[in-house]
Amino acid sequence: MLSIALKILWADAGKSAAMVLGVAFSTLLMAQQAAIFVCLMANSASHIAAAQDVDIWVADMRADYFDDPGALPEALVERVKSVPGVAAAAPYMRSSVVIDSTTMVEQGILIGLDPYSLMGAPQKLVAGSFRSLRASDAFIVDRRGYNDIWPGDDIELGRRLEVDGRLLHLVGIADPPSPFISMPLIYTSTETAKLIRPSIAPGFILARANDPAAAADVAAAIAERTGYGAFEKEAFSEITIDYYLTNTGIPINFAITITLGFIVGTAIVAQTFYLFVSENLRYLAVFKAMGAKAGQLISMTAAQCIVIAAIGFSLGIAGAAWFFETVPDKVAAFKGFYLPSGVFLKTALAVFAISLASGLLSIQRAVRYAPARVLQG
Protein backbone atom coordinates (compact mmCIF):
# COMPACT_ATOMS: atom_id res chain seq x y z
CA MET A 1 0.00 0.00 0.00
CA LEU A 2 2.82 2.40 0.84
CA SER A 3 4.55 1.99 -2.52
CA ILE A 4 1.18 2.59 -4.20
CA ALA A 5 0.75 5.74 -2.08
CA LEU A 6 4.13 7.03 -3.22
CA LYS A 7 3.43 6.26 -6.87
CA ILE A 8 0.20 8.27 -6.61
CA LEU A 9 2.13 11.07 -4.93
CA TRP A 10 4.89 11.33 -7.53
CA ALA A 11 2.46 11.08 -10.43
CA ASP A 12 1.29 14.59 -9.55
CA ALA A 13 4.69 16.18 -9.95
CA GLY A 14 3.41 19.76 -9.73
CA LYS A 15 1.70 19.34 -6.40
CA SER A 16 4.49 17.20 -4.99
CA ALA A 17 7.03 19.86 -5.94
CA ALA A 18 4.86 22.62 -4.42
CA MET A 19 4.59 20.69 -1.15
CA VAL A 20 8.31 19.89 -1.05
CA LEU A 21 9.20 23.52 -1.73
CA GLY A 22 6.69 24.70 0.88
CA VAL A 23 8.24 22.46 3.51
CA ALA A 24 11.77 23.41 2.38
CA PHE A 25 11.01 27.13 2.58
CA SER A 26 9.41 26.73 5.96
CA THR A 27 12.36 24.68 7.23
CA LEU A 28 14.90 27.19 5.92
CA LEU A 29 13.11 30.14 7.48
CA MET A 30 12.51 28.49 10.84
CA ALA A 31 15.95 26.88 11.17
CA GLN A 32 17.94 29.87 9.94
CA GLN A 33 16.09 32.46 12.01
CA ALA A 34 15.98 30.29 15.13
CA ALA A 35 19.71 29.55 14.82
CA ILE A 36 20.57 33.24 14.38
CA PHE A 37 18.46 34.04 17.43
CA VAL A 38 20.11 31.36 19.55
CA CYS A 39 23.60 32.43 18.45
CA LEU A 40 22.80 36.09 19.01
CA MET A 41 21.60 35.39 22.52
CA ALA A 42 24.61 33.18 23.19
CA ASN A 43 26.87 35.99 21.93
CA SER A 44 25.40 38.39 24.47
CA ALA A 45 27.18 36.33 27.12
CA SER A 46 30.01 34.87 25.07
CA HIS A 47 32.68 37.11 26.66
CA ILE A 48 31.67 36.03 30.12
CA ALA A 49 32.17 32.34 29.32
CA ALA A 50 35.39 32.94 27.39
CA ALA A 51 37.12 35.23 29.92
CA GLN A 52 40.42 33.74 31.08
CA ASP A 53 40.79 32.55 34.71
CA VAL A 54 37.49 33.98 35.90
CA ASP A 55 35.06 32.08 38.12
CA ILE A 56 33.16 35.01 39.62
CA TRP A 57 32.00 38.38 38.29
CA VAL A 58 31.51 41.10 40.92
CA ALA A 59 29.23 43.86 39.70
CA ASP A 60 27.23 46.84 40.83
CA MET A 61 23.85 45.48 41.95
CA ARG A 62 22.27 48.01 39.60
CA ALA A 63 24.14 46.62 36.59
CA ASP A 64 21.59 44.71 34.55
CA TYR A 65 23.90 42.78 32.27
CA PHE A 66 27.40 42.48 30.81
CA ASP A 67 27.11 45.34 28.31
CA ASP A 68 25.92 47.75 31.01
CA PRO A 69 28.72 47.79 33.60
CA GLY A 70 28.52 50.07 36.58
CA ALA A 71 31.45 52.04 38.03
CA LEU A 72 33.10 50.21 40.91
CA PRO A 73 35.74 51.64 43.29
CA GLU A 74 39.22 50.30 42.59
CA ALA A 75 39.63 49.54 46.29
CA LEU A 76 37.01 46.85 45.84
CA VAL A 77 39.68 44.66 44.21
CA GLU A 78 41.51 44.33 47.54
CA ARG A 79 38.27 43.74 49.47
CA VAL A 80 37.37 40.92 47.09
CA LYS A 81 40.86 39.43 47.39
CA SER A 82 40.45 39.36 51.15
CA VAL A 83 37.35 37.16 51.04
CA PRO A 84 38.18 33.57 52.07
CA GLY A 85 38.25 31.24 49.11
CA VAL A 86 39.33 33.91 46.59
CA ALA A 87 42.62 33.04 44.90
CA ALA A 88 42.96 36.20 42.81
CA ALA A 89 41.00 39.28 41.79
CA ALA A 90 41.48 41.95 39.12
CA PRO A 91 39.57 44.89 37.65
CA TYR A 92 37.82 44.73 34.30
CA MET A 93 37.26 48.12 32.69
CA ARG A 94 34.94 48.66 29.78
CA SER A 95 33.93 51.82 27.94
CA SER A 96 32.99 52.91 24.45
CA VAL A 97 35.64 55.02 22.65
CA VAL A 98 36.20 56.67 19.29
CA ILE A 99 38.92 55.11 17.18
CA ASP A 100 40.65 56.84 14.29
CA SER A 101 42.83 54.86 11.89
CA THR A 102 43.40 57.86 9.53
CA THR A 103 41.29 56.09 6.89
CA MET A 104 38.18 55.81 9.04
CA VAL A 105 36.65 56.92 12.32
CA GLU A 106 34.31 54.64 14.21
CA GLN A 107 33.21 53.59 17.64
CA GLY A 108 34.96 50.82 19.51
CA ILE A 109 34.92 49.21 22.91
CA LEU A 110 37.87 49.76 25.21
CA ILE A 111 38.62 46.93 27.62
CA GLY A 112 41.14 47.54 30.39
CA LEU A 113 42.75 44.41 31.86
CA ASP A 114 45.28 43.74 34.59
CA PRO A 115 48.36 43.06 32.36
CA TYR A 116 50.00 40.85 35.01
CA SER A 117 47.20 38.43 35.92
CA LEU A 118 45.54 38.81 32.47
CA MET A 119 42.27 37.83 34.13
CA GLY A 120 39.37 38.39 31.75
CA ALA A 121 41.51 38.33 28.59
CA PRO A 122 40.21 36.23 25.71
CA GLN A 123 41.72 32.76 25.50
CA LYS A 124 42.85 32.81 21.86
CA LEU A 125 45.47 35.02 20.25
CA VAL A 126 46.15 35.10 16.52
CA ALA A 127 49.34 37.15 16.77
CA GLY A 128 51.49 38.82 19.43
CA SER A 129 51.23 38.26 23.18
CA PHE A 130 49.07 39.51 26.01
CA ARG A 131 52.17 40.19 28.09
CA SER A 132 53.05 42.95 25.61
CA LEU A 133 50.12 44.89 27.08
CA ARG A 134 52.44 45.76 29.99
CA ALA A 135 54.14 48.26 27.66
CA SER A 136 52.77 51.77 27.73
CA ASP A 137 50.13 52.62 25.12
CA ALA A 138 50.06 49.05 23.82
CA PHE A 139 46.83 47.52 22.60
CA ILE A 140 45.48 44.28 21.23
CA VAL A 141 42.54 44.30 18.84
CA ASP A 142 40.16 41.50 17.99
CA ARG A 143 40.55 39.96 14.54
CA ARG A 144 37.21 41.23 13.29
CA GLY A 145 38.03 44.71 14.57
CA TYR A 146 41.37 44.59 12.75
CA ASN A 147 39.55 43.86 9.49
CA ASP A 148 37.12 46.71 10.19
CA ILE A 149 39.86 49.21 10.94
CA TRP A 150 42.27 48.14 8.20
CA PRO A 151 40.08 46.35 5.69
CA GLY A 152 41.89 43.94 3.39
CA ASP A 153 45.27 44.40 5.08
CA ASP A 154 47.43 41.50 6.21
CA ILE A 155 48.11 41.23 9.91
CA GLU A 156 50.91 43.62 10.84
CA LEU A 157 51.89 44.31 14.45
CA GLY A 158 53.23 47.71 15.41
CA ARG A 159 50.54 49.65 13.57
CA ARG A 160 49.31 52.87 15.14
CA LEU A 161 45.76 53.71 16.08
CA GLU A 162 44.27 56.78 17.72
CA VAL A 163 41.84 55.90 20.49
CA ASP A 164 39.96 58.86 22.00
CA GLY A 165 42.78 61.10 20.80
CA ARG A 166 45.62 59.00 22.26
CA LEU A 167 47.96 57.18 19.92
CA LEU A 168 48.38 53.46 20.69
CA HIS A 169 50.52 50.80 19.03
CA LEU A 170 49.32 47.32 18.12
CA VAL A 171 50.97 44.39 19.94
CA GLY A 172 48.59 41.57 19.21
CA ILE A 173 45.49 40.23 17.50
CA ALA A 174 42.99 38.33 19.63
CA ASP A 175 40.30 35.94 18.53
CA PRO A 176 37.50 36.27 21.09
CA PRO A 177 34.02 34.89 20.50
CA SER A 178 31.65 37.24 18.70
CA PRO A 179 30.22 39.87 21.01
CA PHE A 180 26.60 40.95 20.94
CA ILE A 181 27.61 44.48 19.97
CA SER A 182 29.79 44.21 16.89
CA MET A 183 32.40 46.96 17.33
CA PRO A 184 36.20 46.66 17.37
CA LEU A 185 37.44 45.50 20.78
CA ILE A 186 40.52 47.40 22.00
CA TYR A 187 42.28 45.51 24.83
CA THR A 188 44.76 47.57 26.86
CA SER A 189 46.20 47.53 30.35
CA THR A 190 44.17 49.24 33.07
CA GLU A 191 46.88 51.92 33.22
CA THR A 192 46.64 52.71 29.51
CA ALA A 193 42.84 52.66 29.76
CA LYS A 194 43.05 55.35 32.45
CA LEU A 195 45.36 57.41 30.26
CA ILE A 196 42.84 57.23 27.42
CA ARG A 197 39.83 57.81 29.67
CA PRO A 198 40.85 59.36 32.99
CA SER A 199 37.32 58.91 34.38
CA ILE A 200 37.17 55.19 33.62
CA ALA A 201 36.48 52.92 36.59
CA PRO A 202 36.29 49.13 36.84
CA GLY A 203 32.97 47.93 35.46
CA PHE A 204 33.48 44.55 37.09
CA ILE A 205 35.87 42.91 39.50
CA LEU A 206 36.90 39.48 38.32
CA ALA A 207 37.70 36.79 40.85
CA ARG A 208 39.16 33.33 40.72
CA ALA A 209 38.23 30.85 43.43
CA ASN A 210 40.73 28.55 45.08
CA ASP A 211 38.32 25.76 44.30
CA PRO A 212 36.30 26.46 41.13
CA ALA A 213 33.75 23.86 42.28
CA ALA A 214 33.02 26.07 45.31
CA ALA A 215 32.62 29.25 43.22
CA ALA A 216 28.94 29.62 44.18
CA ASP A 217 29.77 29.67 47.89
CA VAL A 218 32.67 32.07 47.34
CA ALA A 219 30.41 34.37 45.28
CA ALA A 220 27.87 34.37 48.12
CA ALA A 221 30.65 35.24 50.58
CA ILE A 222 31.87 38.11 48.36
CA ALA A 223 28.35 39.50 48.09
CA GLU A 224 27.88 39.27 51.83
CA ARG A 225 31.24 40.86 52.67
CA THR A 226 31.22 43.66 50.08
CA GLY A 227 27.54 44.40 49.51
CA TYR A 228 28.04 44.12 45.77
CA GLY A 229 26.57 41.60 43.40
CA ALA A 230 28.76 38.54 42.86
CA PHE A 231 27.85 35.87 40.36
CA GLU A 232 29.32 32.66 39.11
CA LYS A 233 30.10 33.04 35.42
CA GLU A 234 27.22 30.73 34.43
CA ALA A 235 24.77 32.72 36.55
CA PHE A 236 26.06 36.01 35.14
CA SER A 237 25.68 34.63 31.60
CA GLU A 238 22.07 33.75 32.38
CA ILE A 239 21.40 37.21 33.82
CA THR A 240 22.80 38.81 30.66
CA ILE A 241 20.84 36.56 28.30
CA ASP A 242 17.67 37.08 30.37
CA TYR A 243 18.15 40.81 30.07
CA TYR A 244 18.18 40.66 26.28
CA LEU A 245 15.26 38.26 26.26
CA THR A 246 13.04 40.37 28.50
CA ASN A 247 14.15 43.93 27.77
CA THR A 248 14.62 44.04 24.00
CA GLY A 249 12.39 43.44 21.02
CA ILE A 250 14.79 40.80 19.66
CA PRO A 251 12.87 37.70 20.83
CA ILE A 252 9.57 39.12 19.58
CA ASN A 253 11.01 39.97 16.16
CA PHE A 254 12.56 36.56 15.75
CA ALA A 255 9.44 34.86 17.12
CA ILE A 256 7.36 36.68 14.51
CA THR A 257 9.66 35.56 11.69
CA ILE A 258 9.81 31.96 12.94
CA THR A 259 6.03 31.89 13.41
CA LEU A 260 5.57 33.30 9.92
CA GLY A 261 7.78 30.51 8.58
CA PHE A 262 5.62 27.99 10.42
CA ILE A 263 2.37 29.56 9.20
CA VAL A 264 3.53 29.94 5.59
CA GLY A 265 4.79 26.35 5.57
CA THR A 266 1.57 25.09 7.10
CA ALA A 267 -0.56 27.10 4.67
CA ILE A 268 1.30 25.93 1.57
CA VAL A 269 1.49 22.28 2.62
CA ALA A 270 -2.04 22.10 4.04
CA GLN A 271 -3.63 23.79 1.04
CA THR A 272 -1.70 21.75 -1.51
CA PHE A 273 -2.29 18.51 0.35
CA TYR A 274 -5.98 19.32 0.64
CA LEU A 275 -6.16 19.82 -3.14
CA PHE A 276 -4.12 16.67 -3.69
CA VAL A 277 -6.45 14.58 -1.50
CA SER A 278 -9.52 16.24 -3.06
CA GLU A 279 -8.36 15.26 -6.53
CA ASN A 280 -7.66 11.72 -5.38
CA LEU A 281 -10.84 11.41 -3.34
CA ARG A 282 -12.52 9.40 -6.11
CA TYR A 283 -9.73 6.82 -6.09
CA LEU A 284 -9.57 6.69 -2.31
CA ALA A 285 -13.33 6.06 -2.34
CA VAL A 286 -12.77 3.24 -4.85
CA PHE A 287 -10.24 1.74 -2.43
CA LYS A 288 -12.86 2.05 0.31
CA ALA A 289 -15.44 0.35 -1.86
CA MET A 290 -12.95 -2.49 -2.34
CA GLY A 291 -12.77 -2.81 1.42
CA ALA A 292 -9.79 -0.62 2.37
CA LYS A 293 -9.80 0.19 6.07
CA ALA A 294 -9.64 3.78 7.31
CA GLY A 295 -6.27 2.90 8.85
CA GLN A 296 -4.93 1.91 5.43
CA LEU A 297 -5.98 5.23 3.89
CA ILE A 298 -4.48 7.10 6.85
CA SER A 299 -1.20 5.19 6.63
CA MET A 300 -1.04 5.86 2.88
CA THR A 301 -1.47 9.58 3.53
CA ALA A 302 0.98 9.49 6.43
CA ALA A 303 3.57 7.86 4.17
CA GLN A 304 3.06 10.56 1.56
CA CYS A 305 3.37 13.25 4.23
CA ILE A 306 6.50 11.75 5.76
CA VAL A 307 8.21 11.52 2.38
CA ILE A 308 7.27 15.11 1.51
CA ALA A 309 8.42 16.28 4.94
CA ALA A 310 11.69 14.33 4.73
CA ILE A 311 12.63 15.69 1.30
CA GLY A 312 11.46 19.23 2.08
CA PHE A 313 13.22 19.22 5.44
CA SER A 314 16.44 17.89 3.90
CA LEU A 315 16.43 20.64 1.26
CA GLY A 316 15.56 23.36 3.76
CA ILE A 317 18.05 22.27 6.40
CA ALA A 318 20.72 21.90 3.71
CA GLY A 319 20.03 25.52 2.75
CA ALA A 320 20.33 26.60 6.39
CA ALA A 321 23.52 24.55 6.83
CA TRP A 322 24.98 26.09 3.69
CA PHE A 323 24.18 29.54 5.11
CA PHE A 324 26.04 28.82 8.34
CA GLU A 325 28.93 27.15 6.51
CA THR A 326 29.58 30.04 4.14
CA VAL A 327 28.13 33.33 5.38
CA PRO A 328 29.87 33.57 8.80
CA ASP A 329 33.24 33.40 7.03
CA LYS A 330 32.32 36.26 4.74
CA VAL A 331 30.09 38.49 6.87
CA ALA A 332 31.61 39.66 10.13
CA ALA A 333 28.22 40.15 11.81
CA PHE A 334 27.65 36.37 11.60
CA LYS A 335 31.08 35.30 12.84
CA GLY A 336 30.82 32.21 15.01
CA PHE A 337 27.19 31.62 14.10
CA TYR A 338 26.24 27.98 13.60
CA LEU A 339 23.24 25.70 13.37
CA PRO A 340 22.65 24.35 16.90
CA SER A 341 21.52 20.73 17.16
CA GLY A 342 18.53 21.81 19.26
CA VAL A 343 17.33 24.07 16.45
CA PHE A 344 17.84 21.22 13.96
CA LEU A 345 15.73 18.84 16.05
CA LYS A 346 12.98 21.31 16.90
CA THR A 347 12.68 22.42 13.27
CA ALA A 348 12.44 18.77 12.21
CA LEU A 349 9.67 18.22 14.76
CA ALA A 350 7.79 21.32 13.60
CA VAL A 351 8.09 20.40 9.93
CA PHE A 352 6.98 16.80 10.40
CA ALA A 353 4.11 18.04 12.58
CA ILE A 354 3.05 20.51 9.85
CA SER A 355 3.14 17.82 7.18
CA LEU A 356 1.42 15.12 9.19
CA ALA A 357 -1.27 17.46 10.51
CA SER A 358 -1.96 18.76 6.99
CA GLY A 359 -2.20 15.26 5.59
CA LEU A 360 -4.32 13.88 8.40
CA LEU A 361 -6.71 16.84 8.26
CA SER A 362 -7.05 16.39 4.51
CA ILE A 363 -7.58 12.63 4.68
CA GLN A 364 -10.53 13.08 7.06
CA ARG A 365 -12.67 13.79 3.98
CA ALA A 366 -11.69 10.49 2.44
CA VAL A 367 -12.21 8.60 5.71
CA ARG A 368 -15.74 10.04 6.00
CA TYR A 369 -16.49 9.65 2.28
CA ALA A 370 -19.18 6.97 1.81
CA PRO A 371 -17.92 4.23 -0.52
CA ALA A 372 -21.36 4.15 -2.17
CA ARG A 373 -20.74 7.61 -3.61
CA VAL A 374 -18.24 6.19 -6.03
CA LEU A 375 -21.08 4.15 -7.53
CA GLN A 376 -23.15 7.25 -8.00
CA GLY A 377 -20.80 8.77 -10.55
Partner 1 sequence: MDYAVECRDIQMRFREGEGWRNVLRGVNLQIRSGELTIIAGPSGCGKTTLLSILGGALAHTGGTLDVFGRRLSSMRPSQMAGFRRRHIGFIFQHYHLVPALTAVENAAMPLIIAGTPAAKACAAARREFERLDIGHIADRLPKRLSGGQQQRVAIARALVHRPELILCDEPTAALDSRAGETVMEILKEIAAQESRAVIVVTHDQRVFSFADRLIELEDGLVIADHNLTRNKGADSAGQRAA
Nearer residue to partner 1 within complex by CB, 285 or 317: 285
Nearer residue to partner 1 within complex by CB, 303 or 374: 374
Let me know how many helices (H) and strands (E) the chain has, helices first.
11, 10
Q: Is 287 in the site for partner 1 (CB under 8 A)?
A: yes
Q: Which of 165, 199, 290, 341 binds partner 1 (CB under 8 A)?
A: 290
Q: Is 376 in the site for partner 1 (CB under 8 A)?
A: yes
CB of 7 to partner 1, least distance (A): 5
Q: Is 289 in the site for partner 1 (CB under 8 A)?
A: yes
CB of 315 to partner 1, least distance (A): 23
Q: Report H helices in 45-179.
A: 46-50, 76-81, 143-149
Q: How far apart are CA 212 and CA 217, in angstroms?
A: 10
> For 192, how many CA atoms within 13 A lie in the half-sphere containing its CB?
28
Q: How far apart are CA 205 and CA 112, in angstroms?
A: 11
Q: Which of 49, 129, 293, 331 binds partner 1 (CB under 8 A)?
A: 293
Q: Which of 201, 288, 301, 309 binds partner 1 (CB under 8 A)?
A: 288
**Which 54-93 residues touch partner 1, going by CB under 8 A?**
none
Q: How distant, in Å, are the alpha carbons of 95, 183, 345, 351 from that of 111?
A: 7, 12, 38, 44
- CA 194, 170, 204, 44 dihedral sign is positive
CB of 17 to partner 1, least distance (A): 15
Nearer residue to partner 1 within complex by CB, 131 or 373: 373
Nearer residue to partner 1 within complex by CB, 199 or 376: 376
By DSSP bridging, strand 166-174 and strand 138-142 are: parallel
**Which 263-282 residues touch partner 1, going by CB under 8 A?**
282
CB of 313 to partner 1, least distance (A): 24
Nearer residue to partner 1 within complex by CB, 146 or 276: 276
Span of 182-190, 223-231, 358-366, 367-375 interacting with partner 1 by CB under 8 A:
367-375
User: Residues in contact with partner 1, total (CB under 8 A)?
Assistant: 26
> Does residue 376 contact residue 68 with C-beta atoms inside 8 Å?
no
Strands (E), 239-330: none
Q: Is 283 in the site for partner 1 (CB under 8 A)?
A: yes
**CA angle at residue 46 from 231 to 223, to 5 degrees?**
10
Strands (E), the chain: 56-59, 86-100, 105-113, 125-128, 138-142, 160-163, 166-174, 185-189, 202-209, 229-232
Which residues are near partner 1 by CB under 8 A? 1, 3-4, 7-8, 10-12, 282-283, 286-293, 296, 370-372, 374-377
